[in-house]
Each structure stands twice: as structure tokens, then as C-alpha cells.
Structure 1
Amino acid sequence: MFVNFRRIRKCQCVQLMTTCLVLSVVMVCWEQLDNNVVSHVKSYSYRYLVNRFTYLNKSLTIPREQARSFSNFRYLLDHPRKCADQDVLLLLFVKTSPENTERRNAIRSTWGNETYIQNTLGVTVKVVFVLGAPQTAKEKPDGVTFQQQLIHEDGLHGDLIQQDFLDSFHNLTLKLIMQFHWMHSRCAHAHFLMTADDDIFVHMPNLVKYLQDVSGKGITDFWIGRVHRGAPPIRSKDSKYYVSYEMYQWLSYPDYTAGAGYVVSGDVADKIYQATLTLNASLYIDDVFMGICANAVGVSPQEHVYFSGEGKAPYHLCIYDQMMTSHGHVEDIYDLWKAATHPQVKQKASGLLGRLYCTAVKVALLCKPYYVNTYSCKAAFL
């Protein structure tokens, strides 16, 4: 039998080069593989096999005097009588930054318009914008400082709640604590509390109807949103969400909802307030800190398939029919509000044919073979 040694050597050379290439790619990508794969495996193992978050609660518990440093800030703008003598269904806090004036005006003109909600939906919803102090005291080209602009804006609308900590990403947990403390002292009788980003869209008619049904059933320990289960801390220093071992040493976070938008009942809001009085709030990822507080008081989040995470919901009337929130809306918020609340949405999505049509549409829009951080495929069948 004749053996072609030249061909064998050529094949071996190709195999060697291929092996070197694969190893090079693995070495280059190892750090990312470790962060995205290994850390998730460790996290899920800790979350579902070990699940000893009791140690977490003990380690983060601090004296009340020390915990007060995370909430004892002076109010620069406040409206203590905002909820007085009113039956408030929902107290809605919008997390915003001093410079985002246009976003606030867009919300006031669309889904956060209190007058529209009262006159059209027949309930009282209080919408307030929470923020810290501007990062700069410099004057704008017109000679007005950012703080002076905020004072003028609040004089027109009466809906800004501001404390004198610096408004920054790393102070988001302070902004979260501020919301629960403000509700406790100014609006404790509200049936529900919602926290949302200022680039979120809330389908207020759908949300109000849903919360009215929940309130009528007397449900307690209520916390809904886009739930993250078994999420690991991000240890890459290049990430915006980097958390050091010194700040958080465990392999997994307690379950929490995406900070873009979630709702809790009044009893849960009071429990979270109580938790903030004894927990170390140096962890600056606010939605994770919310999960830590909830874990400490024995409250677990519940998934609602029409609450968006960081993703933007598809534009379609069949989506609008059950939409609660969608994230990432700034320029399009006026058009989306008009389209999502149009009477034809409910008309075309109702009836047997309408429901069958919308199910087919939602399957095509939501049931993707790849990960989409918005509504899950399950939403197509509800």
C-alpha cells in the first residue's frame, strides 16, 4: 500500500495551525468566558443549591445611627402635602437627572399626566421626579444655574423631590432609599409604589386597571416586575456595574426586579423602609439593593411578562393591548403614547379572531431563537 507522507505532513500542519488558532481564541476570550459563563454557573449553584442569604443579611446589618447616614440628607425641593387627604392608588417615582428636563416634560404630557389619569381613568396617581443635586454649579449660557432652573421648573409643576446628595450613577441607592423614606413620611396611605427610569414608557390605562384588580383582592407582599434570578456580581473592572469582593463577597445576588420599572404594594414599601434603617447601603446598584432589602424582610419578586427589562417592546397594537412598561423611550414617547392608547387597540385585539390574530403576531415578535431583553415568549399566550 502506497502512503503519501507529504500529504500526511500537510494534514498535520493544518491540524497544528487550527489547534493553535483555537487555543489563541480561547486565551483571548477566557476572561469574558469566565465572567459570562463560569460566574453564572457559580451563581446559579449558590442560588439554587446553597442559597444561604442569611449570612448576607447578618453581614450587611449595621447600627441604626450608621444606617441613617444613607438617608439623612436635607431636602432641596419637597412637597410634603402632595398626597394629603387623597385616596392615592399609586405613588410613582421617576428617577431622573437634573439635566433631563425634556424627558420630564414628555412624561408630564403623556403617561405621567395626573390630570388625564384622574379625569379619564378615575383614580388618583401621584407622579413625582426624584433627583439629587446637580454635579456642577456652573451657569448655563443664559446665566442660570442648573439648580435655579430646577427651582423654576418645580415652581411650574410642583413635582420635583430633591435631596442634597450628588446626582450620579454611584448614588442611585441613595435615590432609592429616598423614595421609600418619602413615601413613609409623606404618602404612607398610597396603595402601591412604583419606581421607574425617566426613559421608560408606562401604559397607564393597563397598569391602573391591573392595580385596581389587585387592590380589590386585598393582595399583600406584592412585588412585580422583570425578575432577575441567580444573577452574579460583575467582577470586571471595565463594567459600569463592577462590584468588588470587598463590597459584595457572595457568588449570587438575591432575586430582584430590573430597576427600569417595578411596583410594590404599600405593605411591602413599609417593610423595605424598615430594612433600610438597618442595612449597609454602600452597594450602589439600586435594584440589587432593593433585592437585598426584600430578602431581609422575607419578600420575593413575582414575574410579570409585560414588564420590560432593559429592552424596548415591539411596536404593534397587539403588544399595546397588554403592555405595562417598555424601556428606552425618549424621542418616540409622544408617538408611542398616542398609538398605544388609541381606542382601536382594544377593538382590534378583542373577540375570537382578534385574539387569534394577536397570538400569532406576538409569537412572531416575541418567540425568538436568541435572547431578547424585553417580553418573553410566554407573553404571546397570555
Structure 2
Amino acid sequence: MFVNFRRIRKCQCVQLLTTGLVLCVVMVCWEQLDHHVVSHMRSYTYRYLVNSYNFLNTSFAINPHRRHPHGNDGSDSAVGGTVSYPYLLNHPDKCIGGGDGDGKRRDDVLLLLFVKSSPENFERRQAIRDTWGNESYVWSELGESVRMVFALGVHPDAWQRAGVQRALLQEDQTYGDLIQQDFVDTFHNLTTKLILQFQWAHLHCPHARFLMSADDDIFVHMPNLVRYLRGLQSAQAGAKDLWVGHVHRGAPPIRRKDSKYHVPYELYPWPSYPDYTAGAGYVVSGDVAAKIYQATLVLNSSMYIDDVFMGICASAMGVSPQEHVYFSGEGKAPYHPCIYDHMITSHGHATDVRSLWRAATDPAVDSLSSGFMGSLYCTAVRVMLLCRPYYQNTYSCMAAFA
């Protein structure tokens, strides 16, 4: 048998070059690979092998001697050992209303809707008032009472703060829906804004059957959401222990210092967060809102990523998030009537809320998907739009068959 040693050496050279190239690519991309693959695998394994976060209760608990009871006006200097900021704008009677000719009272609040907004986002707030956040629309067209308020702090730029605050005062005089506390409205104060929501709800709207927290660049298909909440009420005899949204399971803390989501080991040393829902938009039942409020009184709010802190509070109270395939993550839902038919939330709508509202609530949407052929057509369309080979962080492929 004849062996060509020159060919063997050539193959070995090719293998060496290929191996070297692969190693170079891995070394260059290792940080991203570690973050997106290795960290997530380690975190997910840890989350579901350990399957317990009892240690969080101890680690995040506040010394009870530092606690101060929360007064009826929400203006105490400290709550649960953390600062409770005074209100600059408030509407404590927001959830109190009269009745109508049919005897149904408007203070029978189905949903208390908190929209997290930045002080300068006047146009976003107005677009929401004109579309999915319009209380009058929900009452007249859907027959339910929804209360919507915007949660915000003060403008972070000291030079612009006075002018922006004057504009906010004028805006609030017109619409009466701004809830503002005297903290600087920045990313690292999002947990402060979350605490504001649950404390305000406890003090001023504890009878609301559901509470929703949403960003001001989110779109909510209010008719679909109201139908969904009504269904929960009927099926679950009042809907208890509900926390629903786009669930992040076994997510790892981000350790890269160049990320705005960076969490140092000193703040959170464990490789996995408790399960939590994307902070862009989620719904809790009234009893869960009360539990989260209680957790904010006894847990340290140093975790500045608000949706993670929500997960820590819920874990401490024995509440687990539930996935809903039509609550979006950080991604934007596809624009198509067959998507609108099931849509609850979609994220990333800073400029197109009005046009999307007109399209999503067009009566033609329902007729398109009605009947066997319409249902079959829309299922096929959703498969093409949602079952993509790459990650979209909006609706999963499972939503195509919902």
C-alpha cells in the first residue's frame, strides 16, 4: 500500500490552521459566548437543581429596628428601612367614582394601570391617553372601570428640572393622572418607582381586582386584556395568586461592567435570579399586589433592576410568575391583523401608538380570523411570523397555535 506523506502533511497543516482560527474566534468572542451561552446554562441549571431561594429572605431582609410604619398619606420619611419620598403630585381619590344608570359603579375597579414614565415624555403619555389608556373608552365600549396613572420622579438634569416640572404641573391640571415623588427619575431608581406603585395601590386603590405595571413605550391591546381578565375572574372565582407576563426563567446576573444591567457580586453573589416577568408589562391580581407591598416593607431595595426586585419580592411571598404567550418581552410584535387578534402587549412603540391602535382595534380584524378558514389562515400567518430560526424576544412560536 502506497502512502502519500506529502498529502498527509498538507492535511495536518490545514487542520492546524483551522484549529488555530477557531481558537482565535473563540478567544475574541469568549465574553459574549460566556454571557449568552455558558452563563445562562450554569444559571438555568442552578435555578432548577437548587429550586429554592429561601436564602434571599435572609440576605435581603431589613433590620426590623429600622422599619417605620407607613402613614395614611404616604409621606413618611422611611418605609421598611428605605427612603420614602414625598409626593409632588398625587391623586389619592383616583379610584373613587360614581355610578351609572344601570347601577354599576365606576369605583368597582377591574384594573389599576400604572404606566412608568419619564418626566420629559409628554408625547408618549398623550398618545397613551388618546388610545389604549383612555378610561372613557374602556368604560363606554367595554363596560369596565380602569384607572390609569403615570408614575414618575423628577427630571435628572438639575438645569432643566424647573421648566419640566412647570410643564408637568400644567399637564396634571389638565388630566389629573400624574403620580410623582421627589426622587431623581433614572434607571437606577426604577425599583423606587416600583415601590411607589405598590405602596400607592395599597393606600389608595386596594379594591382594584388587578394591577398592571407597564412602560410608556409599550402598546396594550386593551379590549383583549379586558376579555382576558374577565375570563380569569369567571374561571378562577376571583383570580387569586396571579402574576402573568413574559417570564424570564433562570436568568443570570450580568457581570459585564459595560452593561447598564451590570450587577456586581457584592450586590447579588448568586449565579441565578428568581424567575420574574419582563418589566415592560405584567399583571398581578389584587391579593398578589398586597403581598408585594408587604414584601417591599421588609426587603432591601438595593437591587436597582426593578423586574428582578419584583421577582425577589414575589419569591419571598411564595408567588410564582405565569407565562402568557401574548405578553411581549423586549421585542416588538409583528404588524399583522392575525397577531392583533390575540395581542396583549407589544414593546418598543415610542412613536406609532396611535396608528397601531387604529389598526389593532379595526373591526375587520375579528372578521379576518372568524370561521374555520379564517382561523386556519391566521394560524399559518402566525407560524410564518413567529416561528423564526432566530431569537426575537417577543412572542414565542407557541403563540402561533394559541
Please, what TM-score do these two structures have when normalized by structure 2?
0.91
Equivalent in the alignment of 2:73: none
Equivalent in the alignment of 1:116: 137
Cα distance in structure 2, aligned partners of 1:333 and 1:139:
27
| Number of aligned residue pairs | 379
Cα distance in structure 2, aligned partners of 1:61 and 1:172:
20
Equivalent in the alignment of 2:347: 327
Cα distance in structure 2, aligned partners of 1:145 and 1:190:
35
Alpha-carbon distance change, 97 to 312 in structure 1, aligned in 2, over 3 angstroms: same
Alignment of 1:344-355 (within 5 A): 344-355=364-375
Alignment of 1:1-382 (within 5 A): 5-64=5-64, 65=66, 68-85=80-97, 86-139=107-160, 145-216=163-234, 217-382=237-402
Cα distance in structure 1, aligned partners of 2:328 and 2:217:
12
Cα distance in structure 2, aligned partners of 1:174 and 1:165:
8
- Write out per-residue CA displacement over residues 100-124 of structure 1, whole angstroms, 9 at most, x where no aligned residue: 1110011011101111111111111
- Write out per-residue CA displacement over residues 277-297 of structure 1, whole angstroms, 9 at most, x where no aligned residue: 000110111001101100000
Deviation at 1:371, TM superposition (A): 1.7
Deviation at 1:71, TM superposition (A): 4.9
Deviation at 1:215, TM superposition (A): 2.1
Q: Relative to structure 2, which stretch is displaced further, 365-374 or 223-232?
A: 365-374
Please say if residues 61 and 278 of structure 1, whose CA atoms lie closer than 8 Å, have aligned partners that are also in contact.
yes
Please say if residues 137 and 145 of structure 1, whose CA atoms lie closer than 8 Å, have aligned partners that are also in contact.
no
Please say if residues 261 and 305 of structure 2, whose CA atoms lie closer than 8 Å, have aligned partners that are also in contact.
yes
Cα distance in structure 1, aligned partners of 2:348 and 2:27:
35
Q: Which runs of 5+ in 2 are unaligned?
A: 68-78, 98-106
Cα distance in structure 2, aligned partners of 1:366 and 1:5:
53
Cα distance in structure 2, aligned partners of 1:377 and 1:14:
41
Deviation at 1:69, TM superposition (A): 4.5
> Partner amino acid for 1:45?
T
> Partner amino acid for 1:76?
L
Deviation at 1:14, TM superposition (A): 2.9
- Write out per-residue CA displacement over residues 335-380 of structure 1, whole angstroms, 9 at most, x where no aligned residue: 1100100111111211111111111111111111222211111111
- Write out per-residue CA displacement over residues 181-230 of structure 1, whole angstroms, 9 at most, x where no aligned residue: 00000111111000000000000011011112212332200111001111
Please say if residues 138 and 146 of structure 1, whose CA atoms lie closer than 8 Å, have aligned partners that are also in contact.
no
Alpha-carbon distance change, 71 to 88 in structure 1, aligned in 2, over 3 angstroms: farther
Cα distance in structure 1, aligned partners of 2:366 and 2:276:
32
Alpha-carbon distance change, 252 to 139 in structure 1, aligned in 2, over 3 angstroms: closer
Please say if residues 217 and 350 of structure 2, whose CA atoms lie closer than 8 Å, have aligned partners that are also in contact.
yes
Deviation at 1:19, TM superposition (A): 2.0
Deviation at 1:139, TM superposition (A): 4.5
Please say if residues 71 and 178 of structure 1, whose CA atoms lie closer than 8 Å, have aligned partners that are also in contact.
no
- Write out per-residue CA displacement over residues 298-351 of structure 1, whole angstroms, 9 at most, x where no aligned residue: 111111111111111111111111110000112211111001001111112111
Q: Which runs of 5+ in 1 are unaligned?
A: none
Please say if residues 88 and 189 of structure 1, whose CA atoms lie closer than 8 Å, have aligned partners that are also in contact.
yes
Cα distance in structure 2, aligned partners of 1:71 and 1:195:
21
Please say if residues 241 and 319 of structure 2, whose CA atoms lie closer than 8 Å, have aligned partners that are also in contact.
yes
* Structure 1 segments (4+ residues) deviating >6 Å: none
> Partner amino acid for 2:249?
R
Please say if residues 328 and 394 of structure 2, whose CA atoms lie closer than 8 Å, have aligned partners that are also in contact.
yes
Alpha-carbon distance change, 269 to 139 in structure 1, aligned in 2, over 3 angstroms: closer
Cα distance in structure 1, aligned partners of 2:333 and 2:82:
35
- Write out per-residue CA displacement over residues 53-109 of structure 1, whole angstroms, 9 at most, x where no aligned residue: 111111111124355353511001100111124111100000010111110011011
> Partner amino acid for 2:301?
A
Q: Secondary structure at the match of 1:106?
A: helix
Please say if residues 110 and 144 of structure 2, whose CA atoms lie closer than 8 Å, have aligned partners that are also in contact.
yes
Cα distance in structure 2, aligned partners of 1:137 and 1:145:
10
Cα distance in structure 2, aligned partners of 1:115 and 1:37:
47
Please say if residues 62 and 80 of structure 2, whose CA atoms lie closer than 8 Å, have aligned partners that are also in contact.
no
Cα distance in structure 2, aligned partners of 1:11 and 1:306:
52
Deviation at 1:149, TM superposition (A): 1.0
Cα distance in structure 1, aligned partners of 2:289 and 2:219:
22
Q: Secondary structure at the match of 1:215?
A: helix
Please say if residues 137 and 147 of structure 1, whose CA atoms lie closer than 8 Å, have aligned partners that are also in contact.
no
Alpha-carbon distance change, 71 to 206 in structure 1, aligned in 2, over 3 angstroms: farther
Please say if residues 81 and 300 of structure 2, whose CA atoms lie closer than 8 Å, have aligned partners that are also in contact.
no
Cα distance in structure 1, aligned partners of 2:47 and 2:4:
57
> Partner amino acid for 1:294?
A
Cα distance in structure 1, aligned partners of 2:217 and 2:339:
19
Alignment root-mean-square deviation, CA: 1.6
Q: Relative to structure 2, which stretch is displaced further, 263-272 or 111-120?
A: 111-120
Cα distance in structure 1, aligned partners of 2:160 and 2:315:
44
